Structure 1
Amino acid sequence: MTERRPLPPANGPLATGARPDAQAAGETTHFGYQTVRREEKAGKVAEVFHSVAAKYDLMNDLMSLGIHRLWKRFAIEMSGVRPGQRVLDIAGGTGDLARAFMREVGDQGQVILADINASMLSVGRDKLLDTGETRIAFVQANAECLPFAPGSFDLITIAFGLRNVTDKDAALRSMYQSLKPGGRLLVLEFSKPVIEPLAKAYDAYSFSLLPMMGKLVANDADSYRYLAESIRMHPDQDTLKGMMEQAGFERCDYHNLTGGIVALHRGFRF
């Protein structure tokens, strides 16, 4: 049986849950369709993922009919990752991507799974240790102010996590600074369907069936209603591409998957 080691503390030298005070107190942002104070959003998102952590993998399979595995496989194929490289998987959750990247970089490489949510990080760590994977490092960290030296990574990925970040521009800048010259960022995220009949069917599914599944499987309809709303509030494909360019990334592009329900964005630091 593999030893369970304690996670790095949220206020320790390798992690932080605090965001830089770049926004004036009293400014508002969205939490799903609700308007909340900026400083409240992180706590509300944390409550959602504390609630869903234990059923996260099961719900992913149910919600996507297993297609999320194909989306992640495409991200891995587009990553260009090579043996010996250093990879940071932000909002890494239960570790699907981190484990795949560990296989790619091998024993001479390094993979760090980072997540702001302690419950998700614990579930991911235990899941990976149960498979015998002991090489991945775990850090509790906020994407808006990553606790790594500039130029630390060859590849940074964030899958289905950027939409939950309060200050996405700050997060993209932090990712840019954490990449080595020649490194790349991959953002895998729900996006805007590009086929009108698909968009209508997707809306009906998201706001009717998704909360119902959340209630039946995870006993939490509200968290899955928030997840559906957060997808609708996330920037569309071209807007996110522009945000990445504004943060300094070059040769930015994106690939629509499943008709634009999901998009993989890619950008380079040169």
Structure 2
Amino acid sequence: MAKPYDNDQTKKEQVREMFDHIAPRYDLLNHTLSMSIDRLWRRHVVRIVRRCRPRHVLDVATGTGDLAIEMARRIPGVRVLGVDLSQRMLETARRKVAARGLDERVLLEEGDAEHLTVAAASVDVATVAFGVRNFENLEAGLRELHRVLKPGGKVVILEFSRPRNRIFRALYEFYSYRVLPRIGGAISHDKRAYEYLPVSVGEFPAPEAFLSLLARAGFRDCRSRSQSFGIAQIYTGVK
């Protein structure tokens, strides 16, 4: 199991430390290194969520709040609870929420995806954007997402994946393993964090295997939608 750092801390502790450390530069690097294509993927997620006409959405591993904010802006009347391990990421998210006047529609809390304090069967949609590969216990996290959803509620997960096309995958992995850590490390002053990213993507289950994990957690109608030649996938399932 990939961890950001080479020490005796648990993966969860290391992930929290990593995001606390890179939080000040996270948004700049996130959009720069992805050439802002991550914004397009999030818009696709928002469209899927909007079709559910939710009143209450839980955004797990909310980070600096990009997805939570987009859902609040684009889905009439929705209230979003964003949960994340990292207080420093949440501090950035709170500033962004306040700047957009969304304080009454987006609530942010420190929390653990595998031990959510959210009541069972209390949310209409649960989302995760680029966070499930950081779960220490992936299956436990998926079971928690299932627990908090109302019957008929939907989970929507956006996550990186390895492209299937051999040539495109080679280009993608050259960028991920060679270029990204150098740029990310230089700007964030934490090269290990950006070395961890491609390793964690490489270890993450392939789409078919992840769909099986969703089904094992109790979801039905599990589907994946490839994004940008397979660089990312949007997974959905229904409780």
Paired residue for 2:23? Answer: 53
Helix, strand or coil at the partner of 1:143: coil
Paired residue for 2:184? Answer: 214
Which consecutive unaligned segments of at least 5 residues does structure 2 have?
none
Query: Alpha-carbon deviation of 1:33?
Result: 9.7
Paired residue for 1:137? Answer: 107
Show CA shifts across 1:144-175 (max 9, x none).
11111111110000000000001010000010
Show CA shifts across 1:28-72 (max 9, x none).
x432697x87x7111111121111111111111111101000110
CA distance in 2, matches of 1:203, 1:33: 21
How many equivalent pairs are there?
Answer: 238
CA distance in 2, matches of 1:104, 1:211: 34
Question: Which range is displaced more, 131-140 or 260-269?
Answer: 131-140
1:32-71 correspondence to structure 2 within 5 Å:
40-71=10-41
- For the Cα contact (< 8 Å) 1:192–1:237, is it kept in 2? no
CA distance in 2, matches of 1:174, 1:186: 14
CA distance in 1, matches of 2:18, 2:11: 11
Query: Alpha-carbon deviation of 1:83?
Result: 5.2
- For the Cα contact (< 8 Å) 2:4–2:18, is it kept in 1? no
Paired residue for 2:217? Answer: 247
Query: Alpha-carbon deviation of 1:99?
Result: 1.2
Q: What code does the residue aligned with 2:48 have?
A: M
TM-score by length of 1: 0.83
Alignment pair present for 1:225 and 2:205:
no
Paired residue for 2:164? Answer: 194
Alignment pair present for 1:85 and 2:55:
yes
- For the Cα contact (< 8 Å) 1:81–1:105, is it kept in 2? no
Query: Alpha-carbon deviation of 1:198?
Result: 0.8
CA distance in 1, matches of 2:10, 2:236: 30
Q: Quick one: structure 1 residues 252 and 51, their matched pair in 2 at CA, closer, same or farther if it must change by over 3 Å?
A: same
Q: Quick one: structure 1 residues 263 and 33, their matched pair in 2 at CA, closer, same or farther if it must change by over 3 Å?
A: farther
Helix, strand or coil at the partner of 2:229: helix
Structure 1 stretches of 4+ with a deviation exceeding 3 A read 80-84, 104-107
Query: Alpha-carbon deviation of 1:111?
Result: 0.8
Paired residue for 2:3? Answer: 31
Alignment pair present for 1:260 and 2:230:
yes
TM-score by length of 2: 0.94
Show CA shifts across 1:68-103 (max 9, x none).
001101111122445561001111111111112113
Alignment pair present for 1:111 and 2:83:
no
Which consecutive unaligned segments of at least 5 residues does structure 1 have?
1-28
- For the Cα contact (< 8 Å) 2:55–2:124, is it kept in 1? yes
- Which structure would you say has the larger Rg? 1
CA distance in 1, matches of 2:162, 2:150: 31
Cα RMSD, aligned residues only? 1.7
Show CA shifts across 1:233-258 (max 9, x none).
11111111000000000000001111
- For the Cα contact (< 8 Å) 1:91–1:159, is it kept in 2? yes
Q: Quick one: structure 1 residues 31 and 169, their matched pair in 2 at CA, closer, same or farther if it must change by over 3 Å?
A: same
Paired residue for 2:128? Answer: 158
